[in-house]
Amino acid sequence: MLVTERRERILALTRANGTASIADLAAQLRVSEMTVRRDIDLLADEGVVERVRGGVRMRSAARTVAAPVVSPERRAIAEAAAALVEPGMAIGISGGPAALALARELVQVPELTVVTNALPVSDLFSPPERADAPYTQTVVLTGGVRTPSDALVGPVAVRALEHLHCDLVFLDVHGLDVQAGITTMNLLEAETNRALMAAGREVVVLADHSRWGVVGLTTVADLGDIDRLIADEGLDDDARTQLAAHVGTLQIAPLD
C-alpha cells in the first residue's frame, strides 16, 4: 500500500466513527504503530485531524472553520515571507500549514494574483463583499487528485502551470536534507510542486527548523534549486552552515 493510500485509509476509518485508536489502525492497515503515529502527525500538521491520547479524531466542523493554531516559528516565517510580496505581484502558493499561514498574512495586499493548488488558500482570497475593498484575483488549479490536506495534484495541475508565470513562488515542504534535497511523502505532489517551482521567477521555500533532516518518500528538487529559504531561529548552527552552502539565500526569521 502506498503512503498516500494508507493515509487516505486512516482518514476513512477515522471519519467512519469520528475517532480511531492507533492499535486498531495499525492492525487494520497491517503496519507498525510507529508508522501510524507518523501518518497521524503529518495529517494533524495539515489540520485534517486532531491527535488524542492513544489515537486520533476528526476535527469538528466548528474547529475546521476556525483558523488553525499557528506555531510561533511558522508565524515568524510567514511574516518574513509576506514582506517580500508587493501589490500587483503574481505569486504562487503551495499547500501546507506554513503556506496557509503566509496566505493569511497576504489577504489584504491589493491587486495580488494568487496561483495555488491548495483549496484552503484559495478560500482565503475570495472576492470582497464591498465594492471598494481591495480585490485579489485567484487562480485555482482545478482537477487532479485531492490530497488529505485539500491540495490538488497530478497531471492536470501540472499542465495548468505550464503556461503561468509568477514573480514569486512560495513552497511549503515536508523535509529538507543535503543529499535528498526537498522531499515530500506524495508522488503526485512532488510532480505538481516541481511544476509550481518552474512557474516562478524566484522560488522561496518556507521551512521551520523541524523540517531539517527529514527525508520524505520522494525528492521534489535539489537544495540548489531554492532561491531563498526562510527558516526560524530554532535552526542550529550546523544546519545553517550546510544550508547556506547550497541555497541561494538563507533567511532566518526572528521570533517576537
Summarize pLDDT for 210-238 with one digit per residue, the tens.
999 999 999 999 999 999 999 999 999 99
pLDDT of residue 69: 65
Computed over every residue of the chain, the mean pLDDT equals 87
Predicted TM-score (pTM) of the model is: 0.75
112 secondary structure, DSSP code:
-
Percent of the chain with pLDDT over 90: 55
pLDDT band at 67 (very low <50, low <70, confident <90, very high): low
pLDDT above 60: residue 64: no
Q: Identify the weakest region by mean pLDDT among 41-45, 54-58, 190-194.
A: 41-45
Q: In b/e form, how buried is each residue of 135-151, taking b as 16+ CB within 10 angstroms? A: ebebbbbeebbebbbbb
pLDDT of residue 63: 41
C-alpha cell at 215: 527525508
8 Cβ contact partners less than 8 Å away, ≥ 6 residues apart:
148
Please tell me the distance from the alpha carbon of residue 219 to that of residue 177, in angstroms, as a whole number: 10
Q: In b/e form, how buried is each residue of 20-48, taking b as 16+ CB within 10 angstroms? A: bbbeebbeebeeeeebbbebbebbebbbb
- What is the average pLDDT across 172-178? 96
pLDDT of residue 128: 59
Q: Which domains does the chain have, with CATH numbers?
A: 3-65 (1.10.10.10), 72-253 (3.40.50.1360)
Are the C-beta atoms of residues 184 and 216 closer than 8 Å to each other? yes
> What angle (nearest 5°) sits at the alpha carbon of residue 176, between those of residues 175 and 181?
115
